[in-house]
Chain A
Amino acid sequence: MENLIALLVAAPLLGAAVLLCGGRRLDRAGHWIGTLLAAASFVVGVVLFSAMLGYEAEARTMRQHLFSWIPVEGFQADIAFQLDQLSMTFVLLITGVGTLIHIYSIGYMEHDERRRRFFGYLNLFLAAMLLLVIADNYLLLYVGWEGVGLASYLLIGFWQHKPSAATAAKKAFLVNRVGDMGLSVAIMLMFTTFGTFAFGPVLSATGETSEGKLTAIGLMLLLAACGKSAQVPLQSWLGDAMEGPTPVSALIHAATMVTAGVYLIVRSGAIFDAAPDAQLAVVVVGAVTLLFGAIVGCAKDDIKKALAGSTMSQIGYMILAAGLGPIGYVFAIMHLVTHGFFKAGLFLGAGSVMHGMNDEVDMRKYGGLRKYMPVTFVTFGLGYLAIIGFPGLSGFFSKDKIIEAAFAKGGTEGWILGSVALLGAGITAFYMTRVMLMTFFGEKRWQPDAEGREPHPHESPKSMTIPMIVLAFGSVFAGGFFAIGDRFTHWLEPVTRYDHGHAPVSAATVTGATMVVLLAGAALAWAMYGRRPIPVVAPRGSLLTRAARRDLLQDDFNHVVLVRGGEHLTRSLVYVDHSLVDGVVNGTAASFGGLSGRLRKLQNGYARTYAVSMFGGTAVLIAATLLMRAV
């Protein structure tokens, strides 16, 4: 059974290879090959899952060793896989949601001439993401880590003819690389500390080294997680990444890849548990991003960017939970899974809306779409209720638990974190209600586009609506299924450990407070966007709104400091290289040239001068001879 693990990666990898190298003759069948192989990977995942359920809870980890990858004196890296409950959860999420999004893309990308290539990239992404979660050491994880970065780069820039898409893709890759630097340094630190970077030996030996080392490793891992999961201060790429086709936003930039940072932190839990300072940094990052993303999400008029802000904020929740230690690990992953369902569903819904609206993304030009797209409306609505944490739906169970866990952290810290999480829930309700109202309710506000085409909103084809319906089911029931009887906690406990903590307030109080905040947020949104008509042109807005529209000025900071500064630096270095470094070289050459130029003047071409020098030379020689003799 263990030998099947490699198949998880191999199937989509084969798909990517075939689709990308196959050439045009595969154009007609390409999307089916891609979808089939994604589904195959899902089937393998389910088979492995059922096998895993057959084992004892403590002995569920499956391993497969393929071959020795980099054998160098004192440095051993293997291609080896480890599939435990944590990895299994991810495998099912990735392959499951991945397959649905493959199916959705068949319809969504129908008119794109490069559809085959799109599926090739999607398969490549699946392979890399699966590798990331089933690797048994940090270096192999790093391969998957950068692999998903590459797939994300290719897919964000899929419509390369648009300069904005190409720029967004480059930005995503670069910001991720900054994070990758962290991962790279973390692995090097592990190597010098433990002599290995396989999960097992490293995580079991954390007690044998100093806290300082572990804090350093933890902070570097956090940097990596910030890059991949779009956390402050490396969050700026996620909004731009919405330039990619919507299925990509759903799969990569909402459901799976961006959650890799959470996986990394939960996986490295033993390191963080032994390094409280690093853990504190994690919760701070999580809490800050939670608010940052939510605020940005409130101000965006672009439906996908509003959802991107929301993604950032929800991942902030997960990071926050992961930073709480054993109290939170389980809930971080649980929220990750439920978020995978409802956020993928919301994005697919947004894609469906765009599909019917000539790819218009500005919510101010939607309005009243519930009549035209009933299926989209219902599935999107269920996703909406799930994300704001409406009682009984998925988000309610997972988010509520995180807020509880934040309070349970204890002390002032617990109160601060809990309040931030609570406030975040209110803002979530606000911006999601805003999206809902602007898109599906109110008057229709659409106008002919630049080429004079009037949008004709219509429901999307079956291949698109079916995945949305499936995901809506998940959004509604997954949370309850996980939470009842603490199923999910028991499932993950052997890997992540679980600790109740000591909540200063009862669970019911937290839930009540959450409900109040939630209703307040939703009511405020209704007051602002439901009762009044929405102007087609965005009003100027308050200072905060304007800043939030520009991602709270972080991009401007990047632009001024990094881009402009970098340009000046490289330009001056080019000048220095040319005039100073090369100048010394050319100067040496020139001084030799000058010297020989002087000497050349002696050779004036007149036979007489040569004769003079001959005579002079002879005279000197004779004189010297005579002198020598005289001495």
Chain B
Amino acid sequence: MSFPLLTATAALPAIGAIATAAVPAARRTAAKWLALLFSLATLVLAGLVFVRFEPGGDRYQLTESHAWIAEFGVRYELGVDGIGVALLALTALLIPFVILAGWHDADPLETKSSRWRPTQGFFALILMVEAMVILSFEATDVFLFYILFEAMLIPMYFLIGGFGDRAHSGSDENAAAQRSYAAVKFLLYNLAGGLIMLAAVIGLYVVAGSFSLAEIAEARANGSLEMATGTERWLFLGFFFAFAIKAPLWPLHTWLPNAMGEATAPVAVLITAIVDKVGTFAMLRFCLQLFPEASKWATPVIIVLALISIVYGALLAVGQRDIKRLIAYASISHFGFIVLGIFAMTSQGQSGATLYMVNHGISTAALMLVAGFLITRRGSRLIADYGGVQKVAPVLAGTFLIGGLATLSLPGLAPFVSEFLVLVGTFSVYPAAGVIATSGIVLAALYVLVLYQRTMTGPVKAEVRGMPDLRVRELAVALPLIAVLIGLGVYPKPLTEVVNPAVKHTMQDVQKQDPQPEVEAAK
């Protein structure tokens, strides 16, 4: 038997979480370094997965399969396709930066009790989330995926509710109340989706008699598993609802601004750049593969919802007064693009959507983490409290601008490639939807530039004067992310190579073909 690389990639951060949690209270710094070390080791393993994965090979590679709950046919089945590899790499790449950016976010305010270990807990929870997210990208057993999909809510709940943003306009009690409101809202919203998905998972088992993705998909493809139209649609809706909450899609989005606003910046990145990607990833992997007919049936509605998300999210971002909520609404707009690309059901759209997941993760991380550095300095999240930062902290302003430009999909940076692919993929089948979505690029420019103008330019505000520029640790967070953004913007080929075959498989699942260009079709 070969070395279980996928299990190891998920197990390493889990072990790291336990090890970090076990570090004695007094050795906080050691716990941080330990967590960073484990996340870097995971990155190495993820790199190994990326290298070992052969784009031209089988659909699922590096597979592992063990009996788990034999009575119900639940198996511990892992395997990655190109889409999974890309997202796995994204997760492993971002976590070290999340840890590094949150270096001081969980330092105890007063060291009264020697047994109180918030720092250890914070980093252990982050690693725990990483382990679960990575495993969920690898799971090819529907039940296993469901368990992880739900279980990752628990560490996230504690991360949001337990470690809030210290920059809060209200009193301490007020802050705590809002924080716990956000955490509970996050948990309940996602649990509600998860429970409906559980019902659908059970329904699927009743219909198909198996939880194995590969088995069901194959049975669906060769016709040995017939599903009544109504059944398929209900099951699809059950799955899709859960994923649409996680993604989040309008109108199921309202938990995101609260959660991102109240959480610390690194945790906000964890939510939007990593955990939410499980939702869109699952649409691509489970909804389309298990329920191709129902997916096509629901496409018109989903396209409309995605368009609403794009425009609505962007407009609301323009109207925000809080930096982090603004970024949250921008993310909602971007998730609209991802869903649009997935359900346009063209090669360009789906490749674009996958790249979009990766690129959005990196660009949001860059913007949000730098915003976090800014917020920590001034102790306020309100845009109006800033002004003229560019003058006192040019490097901070510069990195913030590049993060913002990535968010507005400036050509040359990575998000442009994916956004354009999504637009082209959508336009070739739904021209009107493509044009409406294109208006998102103007709105994106509006909210990013308004944010930049109000915080960074203009006369220097008194409170901002004396603000230090980025420190070495913060530069170590911002610069590599920017380098990746530029690198993937100019040379996205390594990623597209991995993603293309997987998209081809998905296109076969839904039995769709790209429309031929008019001129060639005429020939």
Whether the pair A74, B441 counts as a contact (CB closer than 8 A) is: no
A355-367 near B? 1/0 per residue, CB < 8 Å = 0000000000000
- Among B189, B428, B457, B522, the most chain A Cβ lie within 10 Å of the Cβ of B457
Q: For B459, give the chain A residue with the smallest CB separation.
A: A161
Residue A273, interface by CB 8 Å: no
A551 CB–B CB distance under 8 Å: no
> Is B382's CB within 8 Å of the partner chain A?
no
B348 touches A181 (CB 8 A): no
Chain A residue with Cβ nearest B184: A589
Indicate if B214 sits at the interface (CB-CB under 8 A).
no
**In contact, B423 and A73 (Cβ under 8 angstroms):** no
B interface residues, Cβ below 8 angstroms from A: 185, 188-189, 250-251, 253-255, 312, 315-316, 318-320, 347-348, 351-352, 388, 390-391, 398, 405, 410-412, 416-417, 420-421, 423-424, 427-428, 431, 434-435, 438-439, 441-442, 445-446, 449-450, 453, 456-460, 490-493, 496-497, 500, 503-504, 514-520, 522
Q: How far is the CA of A484 from the CA of B515 in the complex (A)?
A: 52
What's the nearest-Cβ distance from chain B to residue A592, in Å? Answer: 10
Residue in contact with B319 in the complex, picked from A174, A181, A573, A582, CB distance below 8 Å: A573
Distance between Cα atoms of A74 and B456 in the complex (Å): 42
Contact of A573 among B312, B458, B491, B492 (CB under 8 A): B312
Which of A73, A139, A181 contacts B514, CB < 8 Å? A73
- B424→A191 contact, CB < 8 A: yes
- The bracket for how many chain A residues form the interface is 35 or more
With both beta carbons as reference points, the residue of chain A lying nearest to B507 in the complex is identified as A73
Taken together as a complex, chains A and B put the C-alpha atoms of A184 and B316 apart, in Å, by: 24
Contact at A170–B449, with CB atoms within 8 Å?
yes
A-B pairs, top 10 by smallest CB distance, nearest first, are A195-B517, A570-B319, A73-B347, A166-B457, A143-B411, A160-B457, A582-B254, A188-B427, A574-B319, A177-B445
Q: CA A187 – CA B517 in complex, angstroms?
A: 13
The answer to whether B347 touches A163 (Cβ under 8 A) is no
28 contacts between A and B (CB under 8 A): A67-B491, A69-B492, A69-B493, A70-B417, A73-B500, A146-B410, A160-B457, A162-B458, A163-B459, A173-B445, A174-B445, A174-B449, A180-B441, A181-B442, A184-B423, A184-B441, A185-B438, A192-B518, A193-B517, A193-B519, A194-B517, A194-B519, A195-B520, A213-B518, A570-B318, A574-B316, A574-B320, A577-B312
The winner among B319, B421, B459, B500 for most chain A CB atoms within 10 A is: B319
Q: Which of A151-176 contact B (CB under 8 A)?
A: 153, 157, 160-163, 165-167, 169-170, 173-174
**A208 lies within 8 A of chain B by Cβ:** yes
A581 contacts which of B251, B388, B493, B517 (Cβ < 8 Å)?
A: B251
Q: Are B316 and A163 in contact (CB under 8 A)?
A: no
> Which residue on chain A has the smallest CB distance to residue B522?
A208
Note all chain A residues with C-beta closer than 8 A to B189.
585
C-alpha spacing A571/B254, complex, angstroms: 17
Pairwise interchain contact B492-A205, C-beta atoms closer than 8 A:
no
Q: Which residues of A contact B391 (CB under 8 A)?
A: 160-161
A-B Cβ contacts below 8 A, count: 168
Q: Which of A181, A205, A570 contacts B441 (CB 8 A)?
A: A181
The yes or no answer to A606 lying at the interface (CB within 8 A) is no
Other A-B pairs beyond A67-B493, A147-B411, A194-B518, 7, CB < 8 Å? A69-B490, A143-B412, A147-B412, A180-B441, A213-B518, A566-B318, A585-B189
A255 beta carbon closer than 8 Å to chain B: no
Q: Are B420 and A139 in contact (CB under 8 A)?
A: yes
- Judged by a CB distance under 8 angstroms, whether A71 is at the interface is yes
A74, A143, A209: which has the most chain B beta carbons within 10 Å?
Answer: A74
Which residues of chain A are near B251, meaning CB under 8 Å? 581, 584
- List A contacts of B254 (CB < 8 A): 577, 581-582, 585
* Interface positions of A from 435 to 464, Cβ below 8 Å from B: none
Q: Which residue of B lies closest to A191 (CB)?
A: B424
Chain B residues, CB < 8 A from A208: 519, 522
Contact A571 B319 (CB under 8 A): yes
Chain B residues whose CB sits within 8 angstroms of the CB of A20 once the complex forms = 398
Complex CA distance for A366 and B353, rounded to whole angstroms: 58
Q: Are A73 and B319 in contact (CB under 8 A)?
A: no
In Å, the complex CA distance between A192 and B431 comes to: 10
By beta carbon, the residue of chain B nearest A117 is: B394
CB of A569 within 8 Å of the partner chain: yes
A163 to B315, CA, bound (A): 23
Interfacial chain A residues near B456, Cβ < 8 Å? 160
**Complex Cα spacing A143 to B189, Å:** 41
Min distance, Cβ A137 to any Cβ of chain B, angstroms: 13
